[in-house]
Structures are given as structure tokens and as C-alpha cells.
Structure 1
Amino acid sequence: MKIDYINGLLQTSITITYKGKSIVIDKLVIDTGASHSLLSADIVSLIDVFFENSDEIVNSYGIGGEESSYRKMFQRVQLGDFEILNFKLDIGALHEHLDIHGLIGLDLLIAANMIIDLNKLAIYPAIIN
């Protein structure tokens, strides 16, 4: 799967499915420094993903300080040729000045056993024998 190098950031896209509705989300930064993936609440609202009282609240810490988000179970998450069923992703607000729709963190990268090939600007799952 192709990676774009935009404004010093590695970006790609994923497809998610929630309650039978799917959306392709682009402008996702591949962030190996993020323990969890984070999607924009505005983008996932397009397929009726909203906070519910039963959702887990997650606090994240980084250079910008502390941020809160909520965690949702998605029926399907597809990253390139890799597909995982019933996977939890964090949903939250992103700073308006960032022209991105979220982060792909280590939770998804490790679950998918992804190789990030910077020479070819590609991301793909490792072949395990």
C-alpha cells in the first residue's frame, strides 16, 4: 500500500466499518510514537459513530499535553491488504490547524504486523511462515 510523504509526515488511508457502514479515511499519519490509533470524531460521524455512555474514555499524553478520547469497537478495519475484525480504535478531536484525519499508531501497526518501507514509500504486512 502506498504511503504519501506530505509536509514531513507519512500518510496513508484505512477503511473502517461500523454497524454495517463503511468509510475510507485518508490523511492518516503513520505515527510509530503513538501507542494507539486515533481517528477524527468529525470524520467518523459520517458513518454515525458518536460517543455513547458505555464507551471507554482514554487519556493520552504527548508533547502537546493531555488529550481525552473515547474508544469504539469497529467491525472491520482494513489497512492495505490487511483486514482485522472487531478492533478498537480511539476517537477524538484533532487540532484544527492540522490537515489530517487521525493517526495510525502502534496498536494497529503491530496487530497488522506491518513493515514500513521508507525506500519505496510503502506499507505492507510481513509474511509469516
Structure 2
Amino acid sequence: MRLEYRDGLLFASLTIEHGGRTVTVDNVIVDTGAADTIIDIIAVEPLQLAADEDDVIVRMAGLGGFDYAVRKTVDALTFAGHTLRKPSVDFGNLVGHPGIHGLLGMDILTHGQFVLDLHAVTINPHRGLDSHRF
């Protein structure tokens, strides 16, 4: 999958499925410095996410300080041809970061054992490793 290198960051798109609905989220930063994936709640409005008793409120911390998000299990998340079933994803308010609709963190990247090629500006799941390693 080709990434877009813009403003010193790597941008991609991912798709989230939940409750029979699907949405593609663009302008997601591939962030090897983020432990967890977070998606802007406004970017996934078409999913009509509702509160669930299994949802968890989590504190997000980063260079800009901290905020809170809702950790929710969705039906599926697809990135670069790799689909995760029933991943937990954080949904929060990223309005303070215009043009950024999410951060794809190490929780998803390690699951897909992705290989990042900075020369070609691509990322792809590693097909040769044991997928149960992580």
C-alpha cells in the first residue's frame, strides 16, 4: 500500500466495519510511536456508533498533553489488505488536529507484522511470519 508523505508524516487510509456499516477513514497517520490506534469520532459518524456496556473510557497521553477516548470493539478494521476481526479501537476528539483523522498505532501494526519501506513509501503486511507471534 502506498503511503502519502506529507508535512513530515506518513498518511494512509483504513476501513472500519461495525453494525453492518462500513466507513473509510482517510488522513490517518501511521504512528510507530503510538501504542494504541485512535480514530476521530467525527470521521466515523456514518457507523452510528452507540454506547455499549463493554466500552471503556481511556486516557490518551501524547506530546500535546492528555485527553479521553472511548475504547470500543468494532466488527473489523482493514488496513493495507490486512483485516483484523473484533479489534478494540479508541475513538476520540481530534478536532484540535485539523486534517488528521486518526493515528494507526502499534496495536494494529504489530498484529499485521507490517513492513514499512521508507524508500518506496509503502507499507504491507509481512506474509512470511507466523501471524500468532504477537
CA shift in 2, pair 1:74/1:54, >3 Å: closer
Q: Which has the higher strand share?
A: 1
Give 1:94's aligned residue: 94
Q: Which runs of 4+ in 1 moved over 6 A?
A: none
Q: How far off is 1:7 after superposition?
A: 1.4
Deviation at 1:24, TM superposition (A): 0.8
1:84 shift after superposition: 1.0
Aligned residues: 129
Structure 2 gap segments, 5+ residues each: 130-134
- Secondary structure at the aligned position of 1:124 is classed as strand
Matches within 5 A, 1:1-129: 1-52=1-52, 54-128=54-128
RMSD of the TM alignment (CA)? 1.4
Give yes or no for contact 1:41–1:50 (8 Å, CA) kept in 2. Answer: no
Specify every segment of 5 or more residues in structure 1 that has no aligned partner in the other structure, as ranges: none
Q: Secondary structure at the match of 1:2?
A: coil
**Letter of the 2:37 counterpart:** S
What is the aligned-residue identity percentage? 29
- TM-score normalised by the chain length of structure 2: 0.90
**TM superposition shift of 1:100:** 1.1
